[in-house]
Structure 1
Amino acid sequence: MFQQYFSFSNRFYRRLALGSITFIITVGIGLGNVQPSYAISWLELMIRGVQIVQISNISNAQEEEIGKGINQELISSGQVKLYRNSSINSYINEIGQQLAKTSQRPNIPYTFQVVDDNNINAFATMGGYVYVNKGLIATADNEAELASVIGHEIGHIAARHAIQKMRDRAISQGLLSAAGVDRNNAIQIGVELAVSRPNSRADELQADHLGLEDITKANYAPAGMLGFMQKLLSKGGSPPTFLSTHPATSDRLKILQQDINPQTANVGNGLDNQAYKNRIRSLYVN
């Protein structure tokens, strides 16, 4: 009986050992196939005890946490100077939250902030953070035009463009392992992307499409989107910052003109120029 037990045990342990070796080889191959050029192994990252973010499968909570870190770094480093005007900030937040509810991704918290900068610009980062320059607010003629820009930036968030860019940048910098990327590195990459804003033509067209859907659902007149785009193109000379970070504006305008029915372009809210000037009056006295 002991001999039978011994024979059974040998067979059992041999199978277990072969199974373990097969598992180790399979996992090794799998990890190697994820990204063979990654500089740091998952084991090394675990030993270092750093917080790792798997960008490809990032959760809403992780995205919000990284977005918060990016926002804090942008402000503390002085790369973004917030405009401390409660009336204007309240107005931008009012428009933004209304658009967030009708967006394609309403299930995350959104933060809308005004940047103390006279350049015509707006941008978005991960986790629902949208930044609008006071120069852009002053340039818009009405609320529908302003809403079109905010809707466009929400479109970037809805399409997770910043997450895709972060993954590409992490790979190019050799910072992405099979396990993911260090949270601190993710935040630093996010700050770099927020400053450079390297949006592709495809990203811009998609954000335009999503933004147009958003403002229409929120009952803003689609003409606002056309009006602001035409305003930017008519500037002439050195293009404003908004144009330099949002390429192919003329092509985008043509596509929007095709997507918007002229008969319904002015149907909706936000086209009252005087009402808009009244709402942003404090912008000119501070």
Structure 2
Amino acid sequence: MLSPLTYLKQNSFLRRGLYGLMATLMAVTIGLATPTPSQASIFDLIFQGIRYVQLGNMSDRDEVNLGTQIDRQLKAQQGVRVYNRNSAINNYINEIGQRLAASSDRPNLPYTFQVVDDNSVNAFATTGGFVYIQTGLIRAAANEAELAGVMAHEIGHITGRHAIQQMRQRALASGVAGALEVRQDALVGLGVQLALQLPNSREAEYDADRRGFNTLGRAGYDTTGFISFMQKLEGGNTAEFLSTHPNPGNRVSNLQAMNSAGTYANTGAGTDANAYRSRISGL
């Protein structure tokens, strides 16, 4: 009995047919993998060998990798300066952040908490566990619970994958059918804009508030700290914070309603103002 390979060698008609089928399959594969002209015009997808990211089903690993690239660009090109004059401050912020992260909806992400040397009252986050707290916000907080409330809110944006959702929505709006695969460097640029300039949707803010409130409570902090800081934002000079976060008015009411449910004991943990001032005295 002839082996399949020997039979194929001896049968020229079958061999030509098989080669034709292989060529057709290769053409179809290339056609599926190559961006359409409309996609190329939007994301400049004209070079081969460029890394693409699947927005529809992004793994934690890809999300962390994307966040790492965004973090590098924030520092290299956007002037985000990491505070480095007193390591005790950085350690303190990381201590609070890791405590919160362990009680978050996604505790297995490798969270990175960084102090930004900027006197504006603001905080922001990007994909993959990167959270940025500006020195102005640290000073503006009356106690650790207030600061932890803001940090928990930013963690809520990460656990809710809000930046990924916005990237997907913008890709769809730009005409990328299905927004399944987008060039990574295009996403990095968009991620930088989302972190620093583009406002979060009201729905994303409410969701981050809810997630942050529960993270704060599970971590053992007094959740009223989150509410008191949001009330402070209503009447303070916080233009930069409000440029990327909707007005806190209704959000305060929502937080108060959550607090009234009595889910967390609220024994005053983190509300000692003197202890907090002592911890940030070197700032």
Report the TM range for the smaller structure's normalisation.
0.7 to 0.9
Q: Where in structure 2 are the equivalents of 1:36-115 lying within 5 Å?
A: 39-40=39-40, 48-84=48-84, 85-115=86-116
> Please, which runs of 5 or more residues in structure 1 have no aligned partner?
1-9
Identity %: 47
Change (3 A) 1:119 1:193: same
Query: Per the alignment, in what secondary structure is the counterpart of residue 124 of structure 1?
Result: strand
Show structure 1 runs of 4+ deviating over 3 A: 35-38, 44-47, 170-179, 262-266
Cα distance in 2 for residues equivalent to 1:245 and 1:192: 10
Indicate yes or no: 2:246 matched with 1:247. yes
2:224 maps to 1:223: yes
Distance across 2 between alignment mates of 1:38 and 1:267: 58
1:137-173 deviation per Cα after TM superposition (whole angstroms, max 9, x unaligned): 0000000000000000000000000111122233445
Normalised TM-score (structure 2): 0.82
Give the match for residue 261 of structure 1. 260
CA contact (8 A) 1:66 1:127 kept: yes
Cα deviation, residue 177, structure 1: 8.0
Structure 2 CA distance, aligned partners of 1:198 and 1:131?
16
**Amino acid of the residue matched to residue 71 of structure 2?**
N
Change (3 A) 1:50 1:204: same
Query: What are the Cα deviations for residues 231-283 of structure 1, in whole angstroms up to 9, with x where unaligned?
Result: 11122xx5431123210310000111111028767424101000000000001
- 1:204-227, Cα deviation, whole Å (9 max, x unpaired): 000000000000000000110111
Amino acid paired to 1:91: Y
Pairwise CA distance, 1:37: 8.9
Tell whether the 8 Å contact from 2:56 to 2:179 is kept in structure 1 after alignment: no
TM superposition shift of 1:186 = 1.6
Aligned length: 270
TM-score of the two chains, using structure 1 as the length reference: 0.81
- Cα RMSD over matched residues? 3.4
Aligned twin of 1:135: 136
After superposition, the Cα gap between the structure-2 partners of 1:53 and 1:277, relative to the gap in structure 1 and judged at 3 Å, is same
> How far does residue 36 in structure 1 lie from its aligned partner after superposition?
8.6
Distance change (3 Å), C-alpha of 1:153 and 1:113: same
**Partner SS, residue 40 of structure 2:** coil
